[in-house]
Amino acid sequence: MGLICPATTRIDKTKPDIPLPPFAARFGAGGPFGRGAHPPAGHPLWAVLLVLCASACFATLSAQVRVLSDLGMHPFVVTFWRNFFGLFFMLPWLVRNGLGTLKTDRFWMFTLRSAISFVSMVAGFWSLSLMHFAKAISMSFTAPLFATILAALVLKERVRLRRWSATIAGFIGVLVVMQPESAGIGFGELLALFAAGLSAVVSMVVKNLSKTESSNAIVTYMVLLLTPMSLALALPVWSWPPAADWWWFMVGMGLCGTLGHLCWVRALGMAEVSLVVSYDYVRLLFAAVIGYFAFMEEPGLHTWIGAALIVGSGIYIARREAKLHQSAAAQASAVSADPIATPNTKP
């Protein structure tokens, strides 16, 4: 999704999750709380650790995509190997729990989510090969801004002045990062924004799916469906890696992508979305460090200023949405407890 930007949504905590694959169990379902045990639902520290792990994984995945692109692998082929090895690392979970765990009446919704994710992923991977690393990651954080616009236009949600102000400030940050007056708006920047916009659409689809489907099923269906989709696109430009060194990066993409998504959805199940999203922005620091040491790219002052505006806007929107959810829940609880507002229906 985009530049490996996970869909931000609230996971249904009342729905039991199937255990994680063995290689990820200690990160997502055990750790200090015991092997195979789920941490308390409201344990914020463990949620923060999980989202930091996810952020490191996503930043590393983006770096591996950039390395393979710099070595000459076509972005379409890179997309296929990311999904192929992502599916490979989910196979232990499928073998242990069986295909019956994927039974669903909403296959069409999974297909829609995968198709949109596929286009977003291709655009995001392609933009990584055309832009500075930290700049590309900064622009991927515009997804919450697009989500606000879609919520108002598509879902007809009431977006108040403060959220619109934060959204406008975020897009001003995009202009600061892009510097259109000096460098112009290139194809890479357009691809990054397109990928972020599609990521916002994906978040809305995943939010709907999470009401009835487990987080593991959502992740597994993504790689199951994206693998053949990406293969069809990669075949016309296919090329095998010419050196054995490339395979480390290709396998690493699948490992980092799968582990990152699993840690992300587990974190969302343990803490409020606003908390999780706030710590996800640490990924920008990971990207800056990786860009400096791996690609000899030092982010300019305009990148940091623009990123600060984008990040600040995203955090404000997430926290504002969380407060609105809490306020709505409190009002609903008060109404249900009011004997006048809730008439007695007993005979």
Query: Has residue 215 been placed in a domain?
Result: yes
Contact assessment for residue 4 and residue 140, using Cβ atoms and an 8 Å cutoff? yes
Segment 325-337 mean pLDDT: 55
Mean pLDDT of 248-268: 89
pLDDT of 56 reads 93
pLDDT category of residue 108 using cuts at 50, 70 and 90: very high
Residue 182 has pLDDT above 90, yes or no: no
State the Cα–Cα distance between residues 55 and 204, nearest whole angstrom. 21
User: What count of other Cβ atoms lies within 10 Å of the Cβ of residue 310?
Assistant: 27
What is the pLDDT averaged over residues 54-71? 94
Which of 36-45, 70-79, 216-225 has the least mean pLDDT?
36-45
User: Mean pLDDT throughout 219-223?
Assistant: 85
Nearest to 6 by CA among 155, 132, 144: 144
Most confident option among 13-17, 139-143, 242-246: 242-246
Span 246-270, average pLDDT: 88
What value does the mean pLDDT take over residues 294-298?
Answer: 88
Does the residue 336 lie in any domain?
no
Instruction: Please give the structure tokens belonging to residue 133.
Output: 């690393």
Whether 334 maps to a domain, the answer reads no
- pLDDT value at residue 74: 94
The values of phi and psi at residue 110, to 5°, are: -60, -40
Weakest mean pLDDT among 108-112, 288-292, 301-305: 301-305
In this structure, is residue 338 part of a structural domain?
Answer: no
Say yes or no to pLDDT of 138 above 70. Answer: yes
Q: Within a domain: residue 7?
A: no
CA proximity to 260, closest of 104, 117, 65, 60: 60
pLDDT of residue 180: 61
Report how many domains make up the chain.
1
Q: How far apart are CA 195 and CA 125, in angstroms?
A: 9
Torsions phi, psi for 240 (to 5 deg): -80, 150
Mean pLDDT rounded to a whole number for the chain: 79
Q: Has residue 82 been placed in a domain? A: yes
Domain that holds residue 230: 22-326
Is 83 a member of any domain? yes
Residue 59 has pLDDT above 90, yes or no: yes
pLDDT at 249: 96
Assigned domain for 268 exists:
yes
Task: Round to whole Å and give the CA distance between 127 and 115.
Answer: 19
Which of 18-22, 86-90, 135-139, 210-214 is least confident? 18-22
